[in-house]
């Protein structure tokens, strides 16, 4: 078990360093930030002072090594526009995004598992047909478009829900549904196929032969076995939601990291873009590590192998 | 049991579903992005100045007729030499924190505004000294006669309280800004909202009419529109023509249109890649102006919502005269004959740079220009570049002999764009002409407004006979406003002045 944990931890660290390299160099390949952070009519002296102030006059390798040292110490740089530490800005906007991702995940899970279960237990039945339609819709409908449609229908036409913002508890509903919808589709399909697979297994045939009732079968034998592959998918889903939230937060004016990233990119505030990307990558890698470890804990077969 | 549960459920749901409808007499304004700062020298983005103007007053105000109105200054005088400005200040004004307004605060505004840690100290360093002659008289001096100085004062010198600023420093001030304006700062949530309440001690006793203002950040334009439709916000700006048109006939929402002080053009180079090209001949450049169907572009790409640009002096600018300034007509015959005269009867090939996605519909505009010119025998190859690259080098070194761009002005005059584009040595200059340069410099030191107006008109005529640009269009801006709002009229530079807005039912 220890070897398992150690190897996963090492993998995660290597991934993290790779991300730092990629982010650092990519952002610098896209052009000259000075021209974009300073107004068109600014004198050359102001541009130069600006470049020196931001450390853009040093060789690139030196800039990178300094950067890694800072990251390890928790310093992700200062936002060019807001002139304060990027980490502070990130933590101000972190909770709304986590809230949105959790809400989307909850929406997806609460609907996907029962639906997938019902579908798998009775292939080609009504529930199965519904599940397959939902699965298809989730894969094909873009979340951004769905969000705008939901606003027009539920906010403007019906006036049931708010059209934007994070004012009341009800404000979470439309953004969470828009964000979680594709996850819902994916989870339904996964749950359904896992259920089908489990149903073909020996231990289930034995249980059925023993005369165990179907509902009992579903909850005590099928579901626990479905849960394990689901956990790793949920981990991936969560990080995907963190990234996908950029569109949804933009559409719903949800004040989270998505809108922060969007405005940082627009302002070519590259330290902030770098900081957010690194942070999200860090969260993603950590969640992956966690689900890998959880997976290892839950499934004894993995630990032995 | 069930009915009690049912009632509880209904109450719970009802409380959760309290919709964000704007409260009475608090104006809710949507912003397309979060202002970086409410302290003006640290932010030049339009959204920041929109939000801040409600907190502060300046010494004077420029109204829609381009006249100066008194605000914190009741009278002013410009010295003979055009270098000294003496202001008589309004008495009995207090800042939001109770500090009385005196000449010392104007001095402090200048000192702190010029601080090197600010993004845009240039607005303040334009003055070489600010002296309080007594509590209610202040003298401001510029090193050289500066045509736009009064405009800068009127637009940018948001007067701040000296004592408070010295106490908390700029960083402290940014957290809790204080001014003399019709509204005072209450709170701010990053990326989400800014809350202000009415300043009941405002020096104009009848104002403001509102009890408060809330600025909400809503990046997506269609969501802004939805928010106006549901009544959650009163004002939505930065809308596309399509979105604005979708609101035609909608109850409770009005669409405002006004001209943006921004000109879109194709620029010619007579430096770098422009040397040795057919563009050196003014007849060729005139031909290109006659041969570009700017009207067709406006119709097809902007559904008619733009003005054909007459030159760099636009409608609403000082010196604009509709009779004297007409856009080039679309005349391909004339274009061809001019080309023939210049020795290019068979046309020629040329490259044109385009900042991909840099502006609304600019990609289509570039292609339309190329298409237009091909009809008169000029074969234009459009070279799309990302905006990062496009503006990354001085004199547009990354593009060929022609390139598309635009330039706005927020001083209700064409001077900033004339200087930016036509003064040799300026970062974005790609056309050098001694006559233009000397005239622009003359305008820059002419303090008298009507004198300047005449000079703009003269320069315009020259820039038409010897055009450094193909003048394209001046766009229209759309905003959606709730019908309950009265007294709201933004100016061409997209500035909001909300002091006399009211909400009626």
> Is residue B363 predicted with pLDDT exceeding 80?
yes
Transcribe A30-51 into DSSP letters: T--HHHHHS-TT--HHHHHHHH
A31-B32-B309 Cα angle (round to 5): 75
Mean pLDDT of all residues in B442-455? 90
CB contact under 8 A, B17 and A170: yes
- Is the Cβ–Cβ distance between B183 and B197 less than 8 Å? yes
Question: What's the mean per-residue pLDDT of chain B?
Answer: 89
Which positions in chain B touch A252 (Cβ < 8 Å)? 223
The answer to whether the CB atoms of A31 and B392 lie below 8 A apart is yes
Orientation angle between helical segments A173-199 and A86-121, nearest 10 degrees: 40
Q: Does A206 touch chain B (CB under 8 A)?
A: no
pLDDT value for A72: 86
Instruction: Return the number of CB contacts < 8 Å for A and B.
Output: 124
* CA neighbours closer than 13 Å in the CB half-sphere of residue B357: 4
Confidence band (pLDDT; 50, 70, 90) for B307?
very high
pLDDT at B20: 46
Question: Which residue in the set A35, A46, A250 is minimally distant from B219, CB to CB?
Answer: A250
Under a CB-based contact definition with an 8 Å cutoff, are residues B26 and B213 in contact?
A: yes
Residues 6+ apart with CB under 8 A from B161: B95, B97, B99, B101, B105, B108, B178, B179
Report pLDDT digits (tens) over B184-219: 999 998 889 999 999 999 999 998 999 999 999 998
In angstroms, rounded to a whole number, what is the distance separating the alpha carbons of residues A5 and B27?
A: 57
Tokens of B500: 């006399």
Give the model's pLDDT for residue A36: 47
Distance CA B257, CA B328 (A): 24
pLDDT, average across residues B244-261 = 87
Return d(Cα B113, Cα A163) in angstroms, integer: 39
Torsions phi, psi for A237 (to 5 deg): -55, -45
CB-based contact A251 B223, cutoff 8 Å: yes
| Residue B353 CA from chain centroid, whole number | 25
Cα atoms in the 13 Å half-sphere on the side-chain side of A296: 17
Whether the per-residue pLDDT at A54 is higher than 60: the answer is no
Query: What is the C-alpha radius of gyration for chain B, rounded to an integer number of angstroms?
Result: 26
Instruction: Give the pLDDT score at A84.
Output: 82
Most A CBs within 10 A among B12, B13, B19, hence the mutation to make, goes to: B19
A227-256 mean pLDDT = 85
Chain A positions in Cβ-Cβ contact with residue B34 (cut-off 8 Å): 259, 263
**pLDDT given at position A80:** 73
Mean of pLDDT values over B96-102: 95
Secondary structure (3-state) at B298: helix
CB of A107 within 8 Å of a chain B CB? The answer is: no
**What's the CA gap between B34 and A183, in Å, rounded?**
30
- Distance set, CA A28 to CA A25, A58, A64, A256, A277 (Å): 5, 13, 11, 25, 14
Buried b (16+ CB within 10 A) or exposed e, A174-210: bbbbbbbbbbbbbbbbbbbbbbbebbeeeebeebeee
Residue among B188, B216, B219, B418 with most chain A CBs within 10 A, to mutate: B219
- Chain A 16-35, residues with CB within 8 Å of chain B CB atoms: 30-32, 35
pLDDT of A248? 93
pLDDT at residue B18 greater than cutoff 50: no
Q: What is the distance between the alpha carbons of residues A110 and A112, in angstroms, rounded to a whole number? A: 6
Least confident of A85-94, A236-245, B267-276, B368-377: A236-245
Query: What's residue B495's pLDDT?
Result: 62
Mean local confidence (pLDDT), A22-38:
64
């Amino acid at each position: 078990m220890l070897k398992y944990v150690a190897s996963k931890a090492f993998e995660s660290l290597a991934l993290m360093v790779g991300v730092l390299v990629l982010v650092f160099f990519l952002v610098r390949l896209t052009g000259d930030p000075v021209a974009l952070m300073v107004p068109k009519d600014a004198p050359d002296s102001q541009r130069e002072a600006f470049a020196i102030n931001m450390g853009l006059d040093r060789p690139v390798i030196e800039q990178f090594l300094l950067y890694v040292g800072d990251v390890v110490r928790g310093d992700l740089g200062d936002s060019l526009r807001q002139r304060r530490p990027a980490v502070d800005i990130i933590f101000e906007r972190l909770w709304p995004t986590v809230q949105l991702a959790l809400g989307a995940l909850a929406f997806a899970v609460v609907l996907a598992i029962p639906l997938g279960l019902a579908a798998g237990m009775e292939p080609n039945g009504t529930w199965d047909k519904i599940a397959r339609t939902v699965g298809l819709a989730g894969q094909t409908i873009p979340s951004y478009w769905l969000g705008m449609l939901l606003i027009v229908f539920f906010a403007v036409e019906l006036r049931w829900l708010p059209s934007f913002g994070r004012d009341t508890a009800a404000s979470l509903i439309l953004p969470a549904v828009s964000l979680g919808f594709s996850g819902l589709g994916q989870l339904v399909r996964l749950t359904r196929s896992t259920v089908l697979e489990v149903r073909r297994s020996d231990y289930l045939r034995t249980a059925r032969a023993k005369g165990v009732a179907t509902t009992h079968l579903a909850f005590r034998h099928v579901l626990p076995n479905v849960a394990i592959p689901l956990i790793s998918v949920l981990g991936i889903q969560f990080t995907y939601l963190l990234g996908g939230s950029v569109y949804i937060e933009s559409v719903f004016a949800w004040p989270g990291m998505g809108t922060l990233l969007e405005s940082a990119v627009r302002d070519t505030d590259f330290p902030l873009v770098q900081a957010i990307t690194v942070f999200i990558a860090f969260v993603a890698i950590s969640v992956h590590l966690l689900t890998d470890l959880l997976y290892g804990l839950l499934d004894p077969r993995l630990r032995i192998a | 049991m069930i009915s009690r549960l049912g009632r509880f459920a209904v109450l719970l749901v009802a409380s959760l579903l309290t919709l964000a409808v704007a409260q009475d007499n608090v104006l809710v304004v949507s912003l397309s992005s979060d202002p970086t700062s409410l302290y003006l020298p640290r932010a030049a983005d339009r959204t920041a100045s929109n939000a801040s103007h409600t907190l502060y007053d300046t010494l004077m105000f420029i109204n829609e007729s381009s006249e100066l109105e008194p605000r914190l200054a009741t009278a002013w005088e410009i010295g003979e030499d055009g270098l000294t400005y003496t202001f008589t200040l309004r008495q009995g004004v207090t800042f939001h924190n109770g500090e009385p307004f005196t000449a010392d605060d104007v001095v402090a505004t200048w000192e702190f505004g010029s601080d090197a840690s600010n993004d845009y100290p240039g607005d303040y360093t334009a003055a070489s000294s600010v002296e309080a002659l007594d509590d209610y008289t202040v003298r401001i001096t510029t090193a050289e006669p500066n045509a736009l100085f009064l405009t800068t004062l009127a637009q940018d010198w948001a007067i701040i309280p000296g004592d408070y600023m010295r106490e908390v420093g700029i960083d402290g001030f940014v957290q809790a800004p204080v001014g003399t304006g019709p509204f005072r700062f209450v709170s701010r949530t990053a990326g989400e909202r800014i809350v202000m309440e009415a300043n009941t001690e405002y020096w104009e006793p009848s104002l403001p009419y509102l009890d408060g203002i809330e600025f909400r950040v809503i990046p997506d334009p269609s969501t802004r529109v939805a928010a106006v439709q549901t009544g959650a916000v009163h004002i939505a700006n930065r809308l596309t023509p399509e979105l604005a048109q979708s609101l035609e006939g909608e109850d409770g929402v009005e669409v405002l249109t006004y001209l943006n002080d921004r000109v879109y053009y194709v620029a010619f180079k007579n430096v770098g890649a422009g040397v040795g090209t057919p563009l050196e001949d003014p007849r060729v450049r005139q031909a290109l102006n006659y041969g570009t169907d700017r009207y067709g572009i406006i119709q097809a790409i902007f559904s008619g919502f733009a003005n054909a640009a007459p030159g760099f002096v636009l409608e609403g600018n000082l010196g604009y005269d509709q009779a004297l300034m007409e856009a080039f007509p679309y005349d391909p015959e004339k274009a061809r004959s001019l080309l023939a005269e210049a020795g290019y009867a068979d046309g020629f090939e040329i490259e044109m740079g385009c900042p991909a996605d840099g502006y609304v519909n600019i990609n289509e505009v570039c292609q339309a220009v190329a298409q237009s010119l091909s009809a008169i025998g000029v074969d234009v190859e459009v070279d799309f570049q990302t905006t990062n690259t496009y503006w990354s080098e001085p004199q547009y070194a990354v593009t060929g002999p022609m390139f598309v761009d635009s330039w706005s002005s927020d001083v209700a005059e064409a001077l900033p764009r004339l200087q930016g584009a036509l003064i040799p040595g300026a970062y974005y200059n790609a056309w050098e002409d001694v006559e233009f340069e000397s005239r622009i410099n003359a305008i820059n030191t002419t303090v008298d407004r009507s004198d300047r107006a005449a000079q703009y008109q003269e320069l315009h005529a020259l820039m038409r006979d010897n055009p450094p640009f193909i003048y394209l269009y001046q766009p229209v801006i759309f905003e959606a406003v709730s019908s309950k709002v009265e007294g709201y009229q933004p100016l061409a530079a997209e500035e909001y002045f909300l002091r006399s807005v009211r909400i009626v039912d």
